[in-house]
Each structure stands twice: as structure tokens, then as C-alpha cells.
């Protein structure tokens, strides 16, 4: 059985994330969406909100589960007995950032290999931080995030 973890802050989940989640769910027997608990950051959505939204969004994907983690990703992957860590690449700059992380994670956990998936071109400009900035300045992020996230953002604004 091949288990993959897909880590991230998911603050919030974007349309690009969803595309990667659906595609990676088709590649592995088990996919664990792993939401980072980052006490240093001030997230737009609480950990509970992010986990709940991911659960709702992946209800139809029977091999996908959602968990939160704190500390090192390599340790979490070990705990989940993961063979693979999935990360999406939108740009060459993403690769430059991700490569040393993948190498460090490999050193810390020799069981798990990082697998990079190319983001679909129509989503390559979308990032959670970009979505948050547009939202904070009052712009519309419709279509950049799943409808559920869009609704939650609208509710937050009210």
C-alpha cells in the first residue's frame, strides 16, 4: 500500500490545491492532507476551520483523510508511515525553494521521497498568500478558491 502525505498551511485551500489533491488521490492508495499547526503565524482561518473545510471538500474522495501536524514534516510522515510527500510546483522559483526542503526531509526520513506535481497552468498564478491579499483589499477571489472557501471568505467579510 502506497501512502502519501500532502502537507501545507492551506490558509486557505485554493483551486490549485484542489486540482493537486484530486490528482494525487488517484496516484496513491492513501492520501493524508496534513495541515501545519504554525503558532508563529496569524492565519486567516483557524486550524479547525482549515481542517473542517478540507474534510468537507474531500468528502467524495474515499482514500483521503485530513490531519493536522506540528513539528517536523519528516517526523509526521514517519508517524503516518508515508512513502511519499507530495508538493505542487507552480513556477521555477517554487522548485528552487522546494528542492532543499525535499533533500533535508529525505535526510531526516529515508522512507519518504518527495514527489513534485506540476500545477495545472490555469492555476499557476494562484497562491494562498495572493488570495489573502486580494481578499484583504476587497477584491474578488471567486474561481481562485473552491466555492466553499469563497462562501466562508464572504461570511468572514460580513
The catalytic residues are 17, 41, 90, 128
Separation of alpha carbons 25 and 31, rounded Å: 6
At its nearest, how many Å lie between ligand PNS and the CB of residue 72?
A: 4
Q: Nearest to ligand PNS by Cβ — which residue? A: 8
At its nearest, how many Å lie between ligand PNS and the CB of residue 140?
A: 23
Residue placing its CB nearer to ligand PNS in the complex, 44 or 62: 44
Residues forming contacts to ligand PNS in the complex (CB under 6 A) are 7-9, 36, 72-73, 101, 104-105
Closest CA to 128 of 20, 5, 17: 17
CB count within 10 Å of CB 101 equals 13
At its nearest, how many Å lie between ligand PNS and the CB of residue 122?
A: 19
At its nearest, how many Å lie between ligand PNS and the CB of residue 29?
A: 22
Q: Which residues contact 99 (CB under 8 A, 6 or more apart)?
A: none
Separation of alpha carbons 144 and 142, rounded Å: 6
Residue placing its CB nearer to ligand PNS in the complex, 129 or 151: 129
Q: Is 100 helix (H, G, I), strand (E, B) or coil?
A: helix
Residue placing its CB nearer to ligand PNS in the complex, 1 or 40: 40
Look-up of cell digits 519528516? 74
Residue placing its CB nearer to ligand PNS in the complex, 27 or 72: 72
User: Do 145 and 13 touch, CB atoms closer than 8 A?
Assistant: yes
Separation of alpha carbons 24 and 81, rounded Å: 17
Amino acid at each position: 500500500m502506497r501512502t502519501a502525505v500532502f502537507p501545507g498551511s492551506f490558509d486557505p485551500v485554493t483551486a490549485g490545491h484542489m486540482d493537486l489533491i484530486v490528482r494525487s488521490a488517484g496516484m496513491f492508495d492513501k492520501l493524508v492532507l496534513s495541515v501545519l499547526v504554525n503558532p508563529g503565524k496569524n492565519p486567516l482561518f483557524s486550524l479547525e476551520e482549515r481542517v473542517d473545510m478540507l474534510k468537507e471538500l474531500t468528502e467524495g474522495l474515499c482514500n483521503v483523510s485530513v490531519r493536522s501536524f506540528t513539528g517536523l514534516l519528516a517526523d509526521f510522515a514517519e508517524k503516518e508511515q508515508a512513502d511519499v510527500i507530495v508538493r505542487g510546483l507552480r513556477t521555477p522559483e517554487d522548485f528552487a525553494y522546494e528542492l532543499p526542503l525535499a533533500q533535508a526531509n529525505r535526510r531526516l526520513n529515508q522512507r519518504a521521497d518527495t514527489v513534485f506535481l506540476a500545477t495545472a497552468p490555469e492555476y499557476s498564478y494562484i497562491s494562498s498568500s495572493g488570495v489573502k491579499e486580494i481578499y484583504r483589499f476587497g477584491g474578488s477571489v471567486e474561481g481562485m478558491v473552491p466555492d466553499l472557501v469563497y462562501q466562508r471568505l464572504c461570511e468572514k467579510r460580513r
